[in-house]
Amino acid sequence: MRTASLPDGTNVPALGQGTWNMGESDALRDEEIDALRFGVDQGMTLIDTAEMYADGGAERVVGEAIRGRRHEVFLVSKAYPQNASRARIAKACEASLDRLGTDRLDLYLLHWRGSVPLAETVEAMERLVQAGKILRWGVSNLDIDDMEELVAVGGGACATDQILYNLSRRGPEFELLPWLSRRGIPVMAYSPVEQGRLLNHPALENMARRRGVTPVQVALAWLLRTPGMIAIPKAAKRAHVREICCAPELTLDEADMIELEKSFPRPTKPGPLEML
């Protein structure tokens, strides 16, 4: 499995597993757990979740999936913005740890920016590191202005910025991705296939057919071509995991990139960071 390096030198899989929309149905629970376990078997050992997902339901699914295998997994969760304060973050983190059945998170993220000052969130995150509840922290959905402020208030230890980035959402390429790259902060790309909406695009379908692969593999290979990029697609079925885990093996050539550029042009001016 290809890897990406965090600022502290830790290597993590460049292809992980997302869990948005998991844990919402008891009927699907066993299948979701099986898919996550199978993903770990295939080397997709980074698992991303959040207290928001299914009101903690996704964390419970992940906790069951990694039971007895916690040592194999790089575990990521996210806190609501209103919980990222001195007064509330410890309780929110403990609740996530309880649902996940573990005593620590490898990475804890601010899910998006709210009313809590970033300086307070940085302080609260660092307290969790000192307490051993989390090993490192980062952010999600923060644009370049937010990131500059974060660094200015003492957030130099930020391990990642998790953002919406895929072939149809290339806005971060104009300013944010170069800014993060210069500082050695890797990107975690959520919704890398736009929650499945990209997969019926003619350009992806035609390229996949010609290369003997699938549209999802093309979309992920496009993302993973960038050093320091971590993609976290959701795969709630074993068959989907099997398809996704092959994506790092696909190398897009210059002709492929030119073809994709025509259908998904890069940004020519700055714009606000998009969110789902």
Give the C-alpha separation, 55 to 193, whole Å.
Answer: 24
- Catalytic residue from among 53, 108, 165, 190: 53
Its pTM stands at 0.96
One digit per residue, pLDDT tens: the chain, 276 residues?
Answer: 799 999 999 999 999 999 999 999 999 999 999 999 999 999 999 999 999 999 999 999 999 999 999 999 999 999 999 999 999 999 999 999 999 999 999 999 999 999 999 999 999 999 999 999 999 999 999 999 999 999 999 999 999 999 999 999 999 999 999 999 999 999 999 999 999 999 999 999 999 999 999 999 999 999 999 988 999 999 999 999 999 999 989 999 999 999 999 999 999 999 999 999
Give the C-alpha separation, 92 to 4, whole Å.
Answer: 28
Nearest to 12 by CA among 251, 220, 228, 244: 228
Catalytic residue check, 53: yes
At 65-114, the pLDDT tens digits run: 999 999 999 999 999 999 999 999 999 999 999 999 999 999 999 999 99
At 11-37, the pLDDT tens digits run: 999 999 999 999 999 999 999 999 999
Six token digits for residue 204: 């992806």
How many other CB atoms sit within 10 Å of the CB of residue 17? 31
- Containing 103, the helix (H) or strand (E) segment is none
Asked if 186 and 5 touch (Cβ cutoff 8 Å), the reply is yes
Q: Where are the domains of the chain?
A: 12-196+225-239
- Note the pLDDT of residue 1: 79
**What's the distance, CA 178 to chain centroid?**
18
What is the fold, at CATH topology level, of the domain defined by 12-196+225-239? TIM Barrel (3.20.20)
- Note the pLDDT of residue 99: 98
What are the backbone angles phi and psi of residue 230, rounded to the nearest 5°?
Answer: -120, 120
Asked if 154 and 195 touch (Cβ cutoff 8 Å), the reply is no
